[in-house]
Structure 1
Amino acid sequence: MNLLSAKHAVRSMSEQDTEQIAAFVAKRCVPGTVIALDGDLGAGKTRFSQALAKELGVTDVVNSPTFTIIKEYEGEKLPFYHMDVYRISMNEADDLGLDEYFFGDGVSVVEWSSIITPLLPDQYLHLFLQYEGETERVIRITAYGEPYAAWVNEWKRSGMA
């Protein structure tokens, strides 16, 4: 079971706000960073992933891996592993060898992560994106373990909305 370390919520009023949140996260990413995304359909999980990839120096077009499940990108800073587990079962996910990504040399982003929570590592950053209007979102951030708890506490101190 994961040890809950820190929680925070931010309000994104635009795509630019979401990009700023992704930039904050990207600056702290190291090999083995795992970011789990959940939320309403159309709330911006893929948009967040695109902004994070851009901040990691990915120059390829990043789009939803809904049907391919996992897409790998080379970034100038770190490799970027973009996953969408919406259409698979826990057993199918277990057969994918996700640990190789989670404990590898890049940053893993898992959309619809709640489907595979037991397969996630003990330490990861979880973002739940909630649709609040045309451009407004509430992003609930939960850190499981370090260094993610430190990220969330830094976020709180920064006053970032």
Structure 2
Amino acid sequence: SSLAHLAEPMNAVEFEDEIYIADRGNNRVVAWPSDGSGTMGRLVSGSNPGSGMCDLYAPASCEIDRTRKILYVADTGNQRVMAYEISASKAGRGPLEGTVVCGGHGRGTSLSQLECPIDLALDGDGIYVCDYGNHRVLRWELSSDGLSAASEAGQLVA
């Protein structure tokens, strides 16, 4: 779809005069000028419903670490959370190649797997992932290798 049109936008976050939008129906994240001056968005990542490092599949949420200038995306269809450097995005080199920071090990219930991540939240040291399909919220340390969650809430682990 054209960068002038959105399909099923799920979430938006403002940073440095741009609005970053999780455009679920188009399998991408786009950035628009926050002052409404643009007639077309700029591709940040995605547009193909694949699982490559430049692809997204039904992204549901995005959040920005304002200190590190990193965009995090809940890549719902791929059961993972991706990270992108905003400076590379602003240089117009989209679709950007991201880094898997949470999940990405297929669907499942282990602490290294997600089942439908739909929302994100950040604090100074970690990222919280609402893992809808597993009825839990997981927290990863931002400095971790992304292999397993640091903690879990909402579900007992035996």
TM over 0.5: no
Q: Which has the higher contact order (CA 8 A, sep 6+)?
A: 1
Which structure has the highest helix share of the two?
1
TM-score (norm 1): 0.30
TM-score between both structures, scaled by the size of structure 2: 0.30
Larger relative strand fraction: 2
